[in-house]
Structure 1
């Protein structure tokens, strides 16, 4: 037991170590220098490690991705003023996707707070709408308790970011330090997760047994809960097809016969048809987001709904369920499965006609593209990545846009191996996210799929990758446009391409990589893709592959804003395998 004089900075680092923190992402500055000075001593003892990013936004994204991949709380540091405000986008990204991170910022000394001192901003006030909770440490004696509470709150219930703002003089002030035991936190304000009643379990199972056309709609809450085994068991017990949100991707292999892939705006045709025709929708850790539902009053309009979520605020927010269960997905599904095993006789034939109907949709409306195109297509690049990922061992991070949707459609991945900004849709997320994942799993293959526009938003992090020799594979789907913006301008804004072309001023990404001491190649055609992709992928060091793809390719299917999920733009119907397609009611020879 430590019981002698230490300062606030010591109390902070000691508390982080006691919570099992091994890795921190951050950038130093004046107000947080006492903490970095203390951190230096702890790093010398190999008790904790800090990774220097080149922009504070990247620190938040790296901590966020670290949390997504590991299930642990991610931690990032920044100084006061602009250092703190540079974190805001990363904090909002974590908040929208329910990711547990603890954000620690330096602040001007207590006597200067409120005086517009140099590099003073009210980061506590600025971030109030985008954090789960926040603290300003006014007394160093509170440091250990606040850290323990922050970690508890960040993980308790629906996860999210927690901010700790530390004035500079609090870090320096000495006191008799007695650490808080992380296992002895009592927070009456954190309501316990409700116990699921036996009656609710019976009601849910009864609806499943009555259903002939059920559908599992699985979101990020199931990933946060680590409910992969339970979701798969439930699906296989009752022969229920599964569709996922962007956040739920990886809950089940895309190659599983019950998997329908992603639903929604750029979901598969068969997932969107299934949700439009199902008679029971079982929502697990999903929030009925607008990109999923399309026209809300036509979303699963023929279905009864079972909604299971850990956050009571999500129940009934967008759709009133027939059965609502508030609880941890894994725990609730275990209870359902136990009841089913003990009390139920399962008729697996009940859904067979439904599954057969879905099988025909899969055959008729596959995720297709014109493979005979002379130009290199973005889907071919992503499929090549997927072909190398035969045992689903790759961690995939993405940025936001067309490449993200193509990757979601075509990449087969596993639990916690799909790392993507969903709710906020943050361009510039993919590269720092890859850093966070590679630090968490140094021996794993981490692939960042990005676009030319997204990559330029945080490409300074190539310096971080070079410094720590992180063997990340960065695949740039380069169409010289802000691809999704261009697609929307083409479809809905009369082809007025206002400021979406990125060609002028675009750097040579190969030369840019070389400036950071990173290997890079440029692929401009199909031959180069197939002849060199696997060889370069095997390199055990950082690598950029700049893929020049068709500039006109659009991401389909697509549900237009305000339309129902069954009304998709660019829907391709395969009439005769590999010979003839119908797209937008026009014949296209393949």
Structure 2
């Protein structure tokens, strides 16, 4: 068969339902996909295609596929940055140079292969078309094994057209690599016992759940273990939703985008159990919470991460679900009375935080407070709903202020690339067509890929985009205040302000529904109505440009 047919058959056999791309690339393979019902989602930019594949992968826990011709490869590589940071299984295919075109000023040819090195787990050239057989399997194998991540194959020919030739192809598919986690390694039994002994002796233990919990779909096991041992749970942004925000053991998101009660709880703990977390700077507030010297247990599927940032008292090399199940099976229940003082303290911290933030969450101020938008999303998002959020202020406000209390609600967050959320929400909706999907972003983020409104309309994707519209990148205000020595002057606003625009009208021009909300009392009705419409909806919510997210709670200097 041709390599084109082999690619189409292989993707189908791996369960791929959508590919995201900018034409023209692997044209014959795209035509062959017609026979297998694979939806080919043409986007308005390669970065958007990568973000859509990323959102698809995170929502479905299956590899997302994105493609670009040679001239668009650099843009696709840039789009993989977020997937790499978030450990998302995305497989990228691009065109590339041929031996005949090298060193001859071939049209649009730049050797960009190495640009994929820092943003992939596996980066390979398919120099002989028949090597697609083993290299495509390796791309799926690497993307889904251990800690997931993006992979890239460069095909010969600017459009990847080397696959159009016939060759000897045998379809071999490793179905275990059609999802994450592909394998679920179990921890050593002795390490399980040592971990439980440490937890039993701790006076103030806490669990910090990371993205590995959600990748492994270990939410039920996390909650069950916390309840059996009466241990409070904080989460990273990647694990938000793994325990309900109103659960008595939940303290919220910790780190730099965090609830003060979560950081304070982790700071006061005498034992921190990281589950599926790489203990990076964001979840630990730049490695200050927990303080150096705090006893740490860490469970992770990637052995290289065990003890990377904190010397572990016990390391558990394991898939999150399997490891938590083994702990659960071996654990002896800990009554609430045994940790009464600690649980009382946790309840007081959470209550204090809610008392501080409730006036903002329920504010009737105009222009609106962004926290009020988050409250409206909390109230309107139904069970099984998924919220997809951007970075910066959007990540802080949504991670701290949106409550996920209904069954099977999901939270997909940007790992750091402003503008990610809207294309990622499109990808998530493709993966979960029967699931309500709400995107929360600022106007600065929405501008990045606003053209994808046409894509959403073209495919009839009924997602809801809530735009926190303050006509500015207002998170930069304190930075420019400092740069100007305290008070901005002259034309400083040119560096962070936009012209006021009505995104609802823009949405309507793309044949989407648009709703503009200026008053907080109209938010709830607008969101509930938007979720009933069978089309893409943009809610333009005008908010106060001077509303800034609270900085993360940190230890006072000299506290340790």
State the TM-score, normalized to the length of structure 1: 0.87
**Which residue matches 1:326?**
317
Pick the aligned partner of 1:514 from 508, 526, 538. 508
**Which residue matches 2:38?**
48
**Which residue matches 1:541?**
535
Stretch of structure 1 that moved more, 161-170 or 92-101:
161-170
Deviations 1:66-121 (A, max 9, x none): 1111111111111112x111112221111111000111112233422454522223
Q: CA separation of 1:147/1:236 partners in 2, compared to 1, >3 Å: closer, same or farther?
A: same
Matched, 1:359 2:347: yes
Matched, 1:177 2:166: no
**Which residue matches 2:328?**
337
* CA distance in structure 2 between the aligned counterparts of 1:52 and 1:216, rounded to whole angstroms: 42
Contact 2:280/2:286 (CA < 8 Å) preserved in 1? no
SS at match of 1:336: helix
1:528 Cα deviation from its structure 2 partner: 3.3
**Which residue matches 1:278?**
269
Contact 1:16/1:147 (CA < 8 Å) preserved in 2? no
**Which residue matches 1:138?**
127
SS at match of 1:176: coil
* CA distance in structure 2 between the aligned counterparts of 1:503 and 1:68, rounded to whole angstroms: 32
Runs of 4+ in 1 over 6 A off after TM superposition: 191-194, 565-568
**Which residue matches 1:430?**
421
Please report the RMSD computed on the Cα atoms of aligned residues, expressed in angstroms. Answer: 2.4
Q: CA separation of 1:530/1:247 partners in 2, compared to 1, >3 Å: closer, same or farther?
A: closer
Give the unaligned 5+ runs of structure 1: 1-5, 186-190, 569-590
* CA distance in structure 1 between the aligned counterparts of 2:103 and 2:57, rounded to whole angstroms: 34
* CA distance in structure 1 between the aligned counterparts of 2:512 and 2:302, rounded to whole angstroms: 44
State the TM-score, normalized to the length of structure 2: 0.91
Aligned pairs (5 A) from 1:10-21 = 10-21=5-16
1:382 Cα deviation from its structure 2 partner: 1.7
Pick the aligned partner of 2:137 from 142, 148, 154. 148
Q: CA separation of 1:228/1:296 partners in 2, compared to 1, >3 Å: closer, same or farther?
A: same
Aligned pairs (5 A) from 1:10-409 = 10-29=5-24, 32=25, 35-43=26-34, 45-81=35-71, 83-113=72-102, 115-168=104-157, 169-182=161-174, 195-297=186-288, 299-301=290-292, 303-340=294-331, 344=332, 346-366=334-354, 367-370=357-360, 371-389=363-381, 391-409=382-400
Contact 2:295/2:312 (CA < 8 Å) preserved in 1? yes
* CA distance in structure 2 between the aligned counterparts of 1:302 and 1:125, rounded to whole angstroms: 40
Aligned pairs (5 A) from 1:488-527 = 488-490=479-481, 494-496=486-488, 499-504=494-499, 506-527=500-521
Contact 1:276/1:565 (CA < 8 Å) preserved in 2? no
Give the unaligned 5+ runs of structure 2: none
Pick the aligned partner of 2:403 from 403, 412, 419. 412
SS at match of 1:547: strand
1:542 Cα deviation from its structure 2 partner: 1.3
* CA distance in structure 2 between the aligned counterparts of 1:203 and 1:319, rounded to whole angstroms: 18
**Would you say how many aligned residue pairs link Structure 1 and Structure 2?**
542
